[in-house]
Amino acid sequence: MKTVKVSNRLQKVPASPIRKLVPFANEAKRQGVKVYHLNIGDPDIKTPQVMIDVLKKWDQNPIPYGQSQGELKFLDSLTAYYNKLGYEFIDPKNIQVTTGGSEAISMAFFATCEVGDEVIVFEPFYTNYNSYAMVNQVKLVPVRTYGKDGFHLPEAKEIEKKITSKTRAILICNPSNPTGTVYSKKEMDMLVEIAERKNLFLISDEVYREFVYDGKKHVSILDYMKRIPEKAVLLDSLSKRYSLCGARLGMMVSLNEDLMSGVLRVAQGRLSSGFVDQKVAEKLTEVTPDYFEQVKKEYQRRRDVLYDGLSKIKGVFLEKPEGAFYAVVKLPVTDANDFCQWLLTKYRYKQSTVMLAPAAGFYASPGLGKDEVRIAYVLNVEDLKRSIEILTHALVEY
């Protein structure tokens, strides 16, 4: 009997380097091994209680579909959030609610590119950009950044070398997942100028906006949105900001009316994002400023513990992350993927091990990142210290 073949494009969608080692981690846990997860940005910080209370008091039955653009009260809450940041020109018609920031990424590619068009990205970059580029048949064109420079952007001429007749957009993540880089006003000015001169969309993924350390200031695409209203696109999410990863709520924000009306038609096709999720999240206007202050302090503390601990390990190199809660770390190994798998399948330190994300999957250029890992410092300080101890001993034995 002949078998039916799945599509070639399906087979080309890459596995997530963040999750592809999960079966090995699950097997280790079945053997009674404690696995410290440094591979995924799933915070242990508590969700604001005002949001949890919505679930505790829920009495609406049945649970209906939501509005395709987003529930009205949730859109009002999001508008209030952006207005409070100083962007009073944002109103509900400029916001499309998405099912997580991931859907916003996919919508952005679909909305700005035809099949075969190109988007400039800065590597290493968030690995799921790869997945959604493949799904939307868009080509990511990488511009390399370097750890020794804190993964900051190269000069404009290096970026412009990669621009072709097929280039439609520049995509940046600020603060960066996976590097923790916070891009300066000078860097953002440069990208805006290129977008203006080359007539490109400028898409800014700002999921980690609140997590900026050491007195640095986050420079948002929103600061330029009235300057380049047709070109500026913000991708955003509530997952990390409020520890709402499982609620799956993101946003696309733009002043481009054609773009926003188009993505609404796409959103109508998938009906709506979660109704309950939005009812929970509309309470974001009641989250007090001290919540963010405490969360930011905690992540900076974890960043310092990770940086200080890893810097003491022979052969390990990393720049101190400026924001988000990730670091790209160079290890004294030739194959980080093999090392990460070995940690889960063969290595035990006091019946414990650590799970890391091989960094090669965060690059588009073949051969890069083979001796690097991405670490998410989302564990409490004691667990982080324990993880560093395990990794120290593991690198010696490996």
How far from 94 is each of 11, 26, 69, 88, 212, CA to CA, in Å?
36, 42, 10, 12, 26
Q: How many domains are contained in the chain?
A: 2
**Residue keyed to tokens 């520049």:** 170
- Would the pTM count as exceeding 0.85? yes
Domain edge (last residue) among 247, 271, 286: 286
Q: For the segment 35-89, what is each residue's pLDDT rounded down to a tens digit?
A: 999 998 888 899 999 999 999 999 999 999 999 999 999 999 999 999 999 999 9
Q: What CATH number is attached to the domain comprising 330?
A: 3.90.1150.10
Pairing state between β 118-123 and 167-173: parallel
Nearest to 16 by CA among 386, 385, 337, 365: 337
Is there a single domain that holds both residue 232 and residue 313? no
| Tokens 């091989």, located at residue | 358
Instruction: For residue 99, tell me if it sits in a domain.
Output: yes
Q: Does residue 1 fall inside a structural domain?
A: no
Record the tokens describing residue 147, joined without a space. Answer: 């750890």
Please name every residue paired with 330 in a beta bridge, in sequence order, or none if there are none. 317, 372
Strands 232-237 and 95-98: unpaired
Residue-by-residue pLDDT tens, the chain, 398 positions: 778 989 988 888 887 777 789 999 999 999 999 999 999 888 889 999 999 999 999 999 999 999 999 999 999 999 999 999 999 999 999 999 999 999 999 999 999 999 999 999 999 999 999 999 999 999 999 999 999 999 999 999 999 999 999 999 999 999 999 999 999 999 999 999 999 999 999 999 999 999 999 999 999 999 999 999 999 999 999 999 999 999 999 999 999 999 999 999 999 999 999 999 999 999 999 999 999 999 999 999 999 999 999 999 999 999 999 999 999 999 999 999 999 999 999 999 999 999 999 999 999 999 999 999 999 999 999 999 999 999 999 999 99
Give the 3-state secondary structure of residue 38. coil
The Cα–Cα gap between 175 and 208 comes to 6
Q: How far is CA 112 from the centre of its chain?
A: 20
Same domain, 36 and 85: no
Q: Are residues 28 and 62 located together in one domain of the fold?
A: no
Q: How many residues does the chain have?
A: 398
Q: Residues near 280 by Cβ (< 8 Å), separated by ≥ 6?
A: 51, 54, 55, 244, 247
Q: Is 275 exposed, middle or buried (0-12, 13-18, 19+ CB in 10 A)?
A: middle
Domain that holds residue 332: 8-46+290-397
Q: Residue 133 and residue 168: Cα distance in Å, rounded?
A: 13
Instruction: Write b or e for each residue in 87-118: b if 16 or more Cβ atoms lie within 10 A of its Cβ, otherwise e.
Output: beebeeebbbbbbbbbbbbbbbbbbbbeeebb
Helix or strand holding residue 314 (H, E): none
Please report, for residues 25, 129, 335, 368, the alpha-carbon distance to residue 342 in angstroms, rounded to integers and kept in the order given: 11, 27, 11, 20
Strand partners, 236: 251
Same domain? For 309 and 348 the reply is: yes
Domain end marker among 253, 286, 319: 286
Query: What is the C-alpha to C-alpha distance for residues 348 and 340, in angstroms, rounded to an integer?
Result: 13
Are 242 and 324 members of one domain? no
362 contacts 326 by C-beta, under 8 angstroms: no
pLDDT digits (tens, 9 = 90+) for 1-45: 778 989 988 888 887 777 789 999 999 999 999 999 999 888 889
Give Rg (Cα) of the chain: 21
The Cα 19–Cα 195 span in angstroms is: 34
Q: Identify the helix (H) or strand (E) that includes residue 368.
A: none
pLDDT value of position 2: 78
Are residues 113 and 250 located together in one domain of the fold?
A: yes
Kindly report each contact of residues 51-56 with a partner whose C-beta sits within 8 Å and lies 24 or more positions away, as own/partner. 51/242, 51/244, 51/280, 51/281, 51/283, 51/284, 51/287, 53/283, 54/279, 54/280, 54/283, 55/276, 55/280
351-376 per-residue burial string, b: 16 or more CB within 10 A, e: under 16: ebbbbbbbbbbbbbeeebbbbbbbbb
Q: What CATH number has the domain bearing residue 261?
A: 3.40.640.10
* Residue that is last in its domain, among 286, 311, 327: 286
**C-beta atoms surrounding 247 within 10 Å:** 22
